[in-house]
Structure 1
């Protein structure tokens, strides 16, 4: 084993300072060993604008205060209606006339399969 592998322990290195993130700003991650590194894995939907984006944090914070949790179960609410209208505006109302909101990826897949069967 290499010295790095010995320090990291198991092959995954889970919990090693070199692989334990403590903070993130923009495209960089601070690890427990004190090193800032460029994040090359932030392809997830929630990180493509960079970590710690102040404008996004403020917008999310406002929504959490104004609309803490509004269910779409058998009722609508203004943020969902506004989001649906914006989405239809981007996708083109000539192609789509409805938006179906779901609560998870599994639920979305289930809804897509049921819709396709119809």
Structure 2
């Protein structure tokens, strides 16, 4: 009778070590793929937010232009004058829009205070 014996040099400890090593490599590869997918998803979200910001900025600028057209001085001035406001046309030659009384200097204040004392 022929005796068939299994004579492979790879034993159970070596086979277990190889399986553990392959499992570790597969887990590392899987984690790299998951991280890249997560980064790609975050980049896509950021692109969408930036695109929305551009659209909103464009809308803000266009609304600003519309407001400027609607609130033109030629249209607003008659409305305000009819309401009895103190609106006056600005002279292009005017150097200042608001005229303030001059503040007395310290010397003038002291002189006026001395003149008032008996």
Given the two structures, how large is their TM-score scaled by the length of structure 1?
0.18
Bigger fraction of residues in strand: 1
By relative contact order (CA 8 Å, sep 6+), the higher-ranking structure is 1
Given the two structures, how large is their TM-score scaled by the length of structure 2?
0.18
Q: Which has the larger radius of gyration?
A: 2
Bigger fraction of residues in helix: 2
